[in-house]
A and B are shown apart, each in its own frame.
Chain A
């Protein structure tokens, strides 16, 4: 209860790949103090959510809002007493910011090539569990990644082919 009055809303923010492995995880409190407990929690969450596309669940007494895209799973997790829509606002903001930064190409490969962008974006959205910003435009603006990531025209032919292939593959699989 007290944490709600600290504005502390978010417990962890997670991004997992489609094997359930951690690509990004930021825990803002000590609910899962050790790496071992964190990974076990992530496995559990992934197992319960990766087959269904249902946006929200209650797991281990925590409210989990999530979203998947191609081969990425995004999770924002808060206490079960938290306003679910606030958690949702954070999830949407994270996803939309990344979507803009990765030029709608929200998939594992593109994300891994822009990890610093992800790190900076999450840092602008949540600070110590407090929602810092919920407007993706603002987040993208503040991260201000300059054009030193490879523009589309300069991507190698193989890269373009590769990502096209993957997108088709995933759209068939889903």
Chain B
């Protein structure tokens, strides 16, 4: 019947799909013939194929119907038709998670895996391991061990790969098969070798010594399998990375020797491994680069792609190393595979000279619409890097970017362009106006709220300082009329900044604000009303505090404080100064310029490091009543890297106290440390109040102990202090294998390096987007000025870096970047001193035989000014 139907269907027209109109229920109905005797292998095979086809198309099978079909299928084991049997294995694997009681086929599969038919054994092992669990695995352990060392490659491979899949679930069982895996690794079959190596590594990966031994053995004996070689290279480079082994190590030599392997796959893997090693010198890179260069002219697209993609990576850090390949890359810019062409061009943009930029840009714009968004982002990032290298080319780039901005593209792509334009504007003041004009045009028709608000924010920041601020008002106000709430609100904030900075625009801005106050959205109305009232006061200080420089507190911190305040209402008004400050993010790390996998994780607003510390400290009863955490320092190492105990310290500053958090790790597996404290001897009038020990410190499990110190009240200028630190503890020897400690222990101590507290620990970084306004706001009541000579410093860059790290303040207005070929520079720093006093520093630097520095400090509190000047001197 079915056969006939199929025939008819086949003849009824071209391209017919015998599976097209399959109905799950009809197929399951047909599956009843599984129960007929004798079994008709052809028909049953056809039905099983249909079932798997349906599963493959994503058809959903309910548990009951799946179980029913599964049980019917088990009857087919009575037939000896090979293909039918193999399809049964597949069905078992496909249904393992859908059907119930799949383990009933265990005995049939065990029979097949140990039987005479080699065609059955491999697949039976894989099907069996798919449905087995740890207890059952022990029952078949004997057979698995035999299968691993079986001389039939498909059996051995199947057993090895299945073991690898089982490691996660049944590590303790599988690890007993290491000897068999070892034996399989010396097999002649290339796949068996590869699978055995994979399993061996997995069983030994936590034992570095064993991995090293294994590597030595295989690198010496040599392997036949290219796959296994690739795996060895990966293991070797991971080991190099972990041990921070120098590049003179035998591991590196091994990887380099693989560059001369016969197989392209291995050569490429080795080249890629070398390129991805951190701190490789140009000389070490050279052999890798030259094999990649050869691949560039391969007839295989995949090889050209792999080569040029890797060269692109090299070009990011070592453009000069790739220059030798420029000619080969030039040949690829017209490659029919657009991915290859794009990568070639972006690589050339990094390595080529300034004169080739125009030509390359023209080439790429001819096919930019054909490439995928991922590569468009690569192009944009290359342009961004180029602008930093050749600032004079910004007009070409800007044109190109604005054309790209007009094209279709997804959010990531548009965001990359906008970010790139913004960074050009920030780097090159002369490109500001054209850049802003392009962005204005873009927001006229922009569907991405995030980008529109970002651009409006930028317009608010930069627009008022351009020669013709009025021309931006129209663009901004159009947003108020046309866009969604979030964009309207951002537009209102931008407008306010124009009003605050440009007196002649103020009346018009006020009129526009008045219209915004009738907006349908709460947030927009609130903002408009707020700005309206602030602007009407016409006071510089108010403008600075409420329009230019927003809140500098941590938002989660503010939320928590306000919640606390509403729980315990008091007469006192809420004090902003009790809220922990936001730790300014370290200047955006340049995202790696490569088509890296775009992470799919939604961007969460992760609590900052400091918020986490705040939480941890607040849970310790001794530290309640210290007030909000003011600042947490970066961890300081107090021991050498490879010692018995590893200790690092984080300094937490509070209004009148400091808490030192010591994160200790015990690296001795035969010791258990208990009651660990770090005793501190201050050099100044600092007073140690309390030690909180870490109760116990077993091998390799980090623990923390704390020391609470009171800052000297009577002398507020004593901001720096040196502590000598000693770790004290009770040692209990223990068995390295079981971790069982002896009954009694003895006291011991361990001297740590000295810990310094400096002025930077008392100042929190705060970014003032508009430094000038903030400077005026603080006023000159407590202004002090002094001049210093920094004799040991040779360049302005170095001086700027030193000052910033010494004071621990936030550079504003991008003043941390010293323009090239200048003899003088002004550095603006902003911060908040412990206790909540704003402090601003303006340092004028002049270069002449060392650096001369004139420091002007302003603050709302006199002692703070003194502290800073005293510590600089």
Do B164 and A130 have beta carbons less than 8 Å apart? yes
Residue from B19, B194, B265, B374 within 8 A of A85 (CB atoms):
B265
Is A154 at the interface (CB under 8 A from chain B)?
A: no
CB distance from A159 to the nearest CB of B (A): 7
Q: A108 to B122, alpha carbons, bound, how many Å?
A: 29
Closest 9 CB pairs of A and B: A35-B58, A61-B597, A54-B337, A55-B301, A7-B198, A85-B265, A84-B306, A88-B302, A116-B49
Contact between chains at B337 and A52 (CB < 8 Å): yes
Given A5-B205, A6-B164, residue A133 in contact with residue B191 (CB < 8 A):
yes
Also in contact, A26 and B56, with CB within 8 A (given A84-B306, A120-B90, A134-B191): yes
Q: Which residue of B19, B93, B123, B302 contacts A56 across the interface (Cβ within 8 Å)? A: B302
Contact B302 A84, beta carbon cutoff 8 Å: yes
| Complex contact A58–B14 (CB within 8 A) | no
Interface bin, chain B: 35 or more
What DSSP secondary structure best describes chain B's contact surface? helix
Q: List, sorted by A's number, 21 A–B pairs whose CB atoms are closer than 8 Å.
A: A4-B234, A7-B195, A24-B56, A52-B338, A54-B339, A56-B339, A58-B374, A58-B595, A84-B268, A85-B268, A85-B306, A109-B16, A116-B87, A124-B123, A132-B161, A132-B191, A134-B191, A142-B154, A144-B119, A145-B83, A159-B10
Q: A5–B337 contact, CB under 8 A?
A: no
Q: How far is the CB of B191 from chain A (nearest CB, A)?
A: 6
Residues of A close to B269: CB separation below 8 A: 83
The answer to whether A58 and B372 have CB atoms under 8 Å apart is yes
Which residue from chain A places its CB closest to the CB of B306 in the assembled complex?
A84
B339 to chain A: closest residue by CB: A57
Residue of B whose beta carbon sits closest to that of A123: B90
B11, B58, B269 interface centre (most CB from chain A within 10 Å) = B58
A residues less than 8 Å from B710 (CB atoms): none
* Chain A residues, CB < 8 A from B227: 86, 131, 134
A20–B205 alpha-carbon span in the complex (Å): 42
Neighbour of A119 across the interface among B19, B90, B195, B235, CB < 8 A:
B90
New contact pairs (7) apart from A88-B302, A113-B18, A158-B11, CB-CB < 8 Å? A22-B58, A54-B336, A55-B302, A80-B597, A119-B87, A130-B161, A162-B14
Within 8 A of A (CB), among B226-247: 227, 230-231, 234-235, 238
B interface footprint on A138-164 (CB within 8 Å = 1, 0 otherwise)? 100011111010000000101100100
- B83 contacts A56, C-beta separation under 8 Å: no
Which positions 178-218 of chain B face chain A at CB distance < 8 Å? 191, 194-195, 198, 201-202, 205
Q: Which residues of A contact B268 (CB under 8 A)?
A: 83-85
Q: Check if B42 sits within 8 Å of A52, measured CB to CB.
A: no
Q: For A25, give its contact among B56, B231, B238, B372 (CB under 8 Å).
A: B56
B interface residue numbers (CB < 8 A to A):
10-11, 14-19, 42, 45, 48-49, 52-53, 56-58, 82-83, 86-87, 90, 93, 119, 122-123, 126, 153-154, 157-158, 161-162, 164-165, 191, 194-195, 198, 201-202, 205, 227, 230-231, 234-235, 238, 264-265, 268-269, 272, 300-303, 305-306, 336-340, 372, 374-375, 595-600
Residues in chain B near residue A52, CB distance under 8 A:
336-338
Neighbouring A residues of B86 by C-beta, 8 Å: 120, 143
* Complex contacts, B83 vs chain A, CB 8 Å: 116, 120, 144-146, 148
**Would you call B161 and A108 a contact (CB within 8 A)?**
no
Q: How far is the CA of A112 from the CA of B14 in the complex (A)?
A: 13
> Which chain A residue has the least Cβ–Cβ distance from B599?
A61
- CA gap between A133 and B82 in the complex, in Å: 20
Q: Give the interface centre of A57, A81, A84, A148 by most chain B CB atoms within 10 Å.
A: A84
B202, A6: Cβ atoms under 8 Å?
yes
Take A26-B56, A56-B305 as given contacts and tell me if A86 and B230 are in contact as well, using a CB distance cutoff of 8 Å: yes
Question: Which B residues lie within 8 Å of A162 (CB)?
Answer: 14
Q: Please, which residue of chain B has its CB at the minimum distance from the CB of A1?
A: B238
CB distance from A112 to the nearest CB of B (A): 6
How many Å lie between the Cα of A25 and that of B14 in the bound state?
23
CB distance from B269 to the nearest CB of A (A): 5
Query: In the assembled complex, which residues on chain A have CB atoms less than 8 Å from the CB atom of B90?
Result: 119-120, 123
Task: Specify the chain B residue showing the minimal Cβ separation from A116.
Answer: B49
Closest Cβ–Cβ distance, residue B589 to chain A (whole Å):
19
Contacts of A61 in B (CB 8 A): 374, 595-600
Q: Which residue of A lies closest to B19 (CB)?
A: A112
Shortest Cβ distance from A96 into chain B, in angstroms? Answer: 15
Q: Is B10's CB under 8 angstroms from A56's CB? A: no
- Select B42's contact among A38, A54, A148, beta carbons within 8 Å: A148
Q: Which chain B positions have C-beta within 8 A of A79?
A: 597
**A32 CB to closest chain B CB, in angstroms?**
10
Set of chain B residues within 8 Å of A85, measured between Cβ atoms: 264-265, 268, 302-303, 306
- Residues of chain A within 8 A (CB-CB) of B93 are 123
- A127 contacts B301, CB within 8 Å? no
A69 to chain B, nearest CB (A): 15
Which of B126, B268, B597 counts the most A-chain CB atoms under 10 A from its CB? Answer: B597
Contact across chains for B597 and A62 when beta carbons are under 8 A apart: yes
Let me know if B14 and A128 touch, CB within 8 A: no
A22 partner residues in chain B, CB cutoff 8 A: 56-58
A65 at interface (Cβ–Cβ under 8 A)?
Answer: yes
Chain A positions within 8 Å of B375 at CB level: 58
Contact with B along A24-43 (1 / 0, CB 8 A): 11100000000100110000
Chain B nearest CB from A47 CB (Å) reads: 10
| Residue among A59, A83, A144 making CB contact with B272, cutoff 8 Å | A83
Task: Give every chain A residue within 8 A of B600 (Cβ-Cβ).
Answer: 61
Quick check: A120 and B56 within 8 Å, CB to CB?
Answer: no
Residues of A within 8 A of B305 (CB): 55-56, 84
Check A83 against B19 for contact (C-beta < 8 Å): no
**Alpha-carbon distance A93/B799, docked complex (angstroms):** 61
Nearest-CB residue, chain A, relative to B46: A116
Docked CA distance A109–B191 (Å): 32
A7–B372 touching, CB < 8 Å: no
CA distance A129 to B374 in the complex (A): 25
